[in-house]
Amino acid sequence: MTQPASPPPGTFRLVVSGGGTGGHTYPALTAIRALQARLAAEGRALDVLWIGTPEGLEARVAPAEGIPFTTVATGKIRRSANPLKMVSPANVRDMARVPLGVLQARKAIRRFRPNAVLATGGYVAVPAGLAARLCRSPLVLHEQTVRLGLANRKLAGSAARIAVSSESTLPLLPEAVRSAAVVTGNPVRPEVLSGHPEKAFGALGLNGFDRRLPTVYVTGGAQGARQINDMIRDALPWLTERANVIHQCGPANVEELRAGAAALPPRLAGRYHLTGFVGAELPDVLALADVVVSRSGAGTLAELTALGKPAVFVPLASAAGNEQAHNARHLEEAGAAVALTGDVDANQLWNALGPLLDDPARRVAMAEAARAHGRPDAAERLVDVVLSAATN
């Protein structure tokens, strides 16, 4: 990387590190966009450098957004309930890469001379965060989940500010770093909040939907989720009697599920819309949905609570640190969702979903509870924290 030119007066320089998955990448991107807009309104510019890994999602997202991107070495810790298994050859090999990553990140940060460093989690955030401390650059951590992820736990003592997504996180922090913590919420892409229900009918061709019935949006993420798909397949007869269903199942699963739905009578078949992927029309689909059935990743929770959507969560059991189950239970305890954990089936789905479909008042109450936990202004709050850290 070449020595950067001196920035114009008033330019704010930000290093961002984090990624691997969308849960770490998209909050960072949303914060960058919000900071850029804030500075532009003040007649200032933003200069960004994203430090990531070549194989993470950030390696595609940052260049696509025109954000300069550089990579550093890092290592992944493979977790196990058995501490002895943590000392595996793969873990030892990967951890040995971290010091090299710190040196690489320190070189990049020294050259870039940022006003602040924002780390949003993922393994790559560790070397970048440690390098920020070595370079005495103010480090802001952002945590998307209720409990601090592994990377942010390692970096908490080095941070000028720790931005968390929920008040419930504060008592879980080590006492020594609580004074650095501030609740911002998890940044949500503005476009997600701007959907229109009527547009979903046209975009997806939902001509067979019965507008007198509630609409359920089912999603297992971009690739779909076998567990959720199987439940919906088994539940289709009773589900389509009571609701319209938009089922985003993953591109590889469409044909199998279409075959399973073939036995539905035409009246019910028209209420079931199966699609492999929901893209630009997602805001309109979410606006139309009365209830959402999904995994419980941090990004999903942020979007659904900002929108005030009742949800039935089926957490991904293999999520790091069981974080999806913690996320889901957190909202369930607040009356903002229902959490289905473990080996769930269509009967358990009905027990959770049936009362919501049959009782509009129950849906309204859950929507209000969800909205009370939503922070649609999270990106602006996080920008406030970054700017404050840079000036203190």
CA angle 288, 294, 299 (to 5 degrees): 90
Q: Quick check: is 6 in a domain?
A: no
Residues 6+ apart with CB under 8 A from 85: none
For residues 375 and 306, is the Cβ–Cβ distance under 8 A? yes
Residue 171: exposed, middle, or buried by beta-carbon count in 10 A (0-12, 13-18, 19+)? exposed
What are the backbone dihedrals phi and psi of residue 274, each rounded to the nearest 5 degrees, phi first?
A: -105, 130
CB atoms within 10 A of CB 31: 27
The model's pTM is 0.86
Residues 224 and 270 in one domain: yes
Name the residue among 331, 295, 294 with its Cα closest to residue 316.
Answer: 295
Q: Quick check: is 1 in a domain?
A: no
Q: Estimate the crossing angle of helix 346-358 against helix 360-372, to 10 degrees.
A: 100
Q: Quick check: is 139 in a domain?
A: yes
Residues 284 and 163 in one domain: no
Residue 78 is predicted with a pLDDT of 44
Rounded distance between C-alpha atoms, residue 29 and residue 140, angstroms: 15
Residues 367 and 387 in one domain: no
Residues 381 and 368 in one domain: no
Q: How many domains does the chain have?
A: 2
Residues 207 and 244 in one domain: yes
Q: Quick check: is 324 in a domain?
A: yes
**Domain carrying residue 256:** 190-372
Print pLDDT tens along the chain (392 aa): 445 555 556 899 999 999 998 889 999 999 999 999 999 999 999 999 999 999 999 999 999 999 999 999 986 654 445 555 545 565 556 556 689 999 999 999 999 999 999 999 999 999 999 999 999 999 999 999 888 888 999 999 999 999 999 998 999 999 999 999 999 999 999 999 999 999 999 999 999 999 999 999 999 988 889 999 999 999 999 999 999 999 999 999 999 999 989 999 999 999 999 999 999 999 999 999 999 999 999 999 999 999 999 999 999 877 666 889 999 999 999 999 999 998 899 999 999 999 999 999 999 999 999 999 999 999 999 999 999 999 97
Residues 59 and 75 in one domain: yes
Q: Quick check: is 254 in a domain?
A: yes
Q: Quick check: is 2 in a domain?
A: no
Residues 115 and 198 in one domain: no
Residues 279 and 345 in one domain: yes
For the domain that residue 249 is a member of, what is the CATH number? 3.40.50.2000
Rounded distance between C-alpha atoms, residue 357 and residue 359, angstroms: 6
Residues 163 and 110 in one domain: yes
Altogether, the residues listed in the chain come to a count of 392
Residues 124 and 248 in one domain: no
Report in angstroms the alpha-carbon separations of 290 from 226, 245, 346: 23, 10, 19
Rounded distance between C-alpha atoms, residue 20 and residue 124, angstroms: 8
Element of type H or E holding 99: helix 98-112
Residues 94 and 178 in one domain: yes
Q: Quick check: is 328 in a domain?
A: yes
Residues 197 and 282 in one domain: yes
Rounded distance between C-alpha atoms, residue 40 and residue 146, angstroms: 33
Residue 87 is predicted with a pLDDT of 52
Residue 152 is predicted with a pLDDT of 93
Query: Two tokens at 324?
Result: 């999806």
Residue 86 is predicted with a pLDDT of 47
Torsional sign, CA 161, 166, 172, 178: positive
Q: Quick check: is 5 in a domain?
A: no
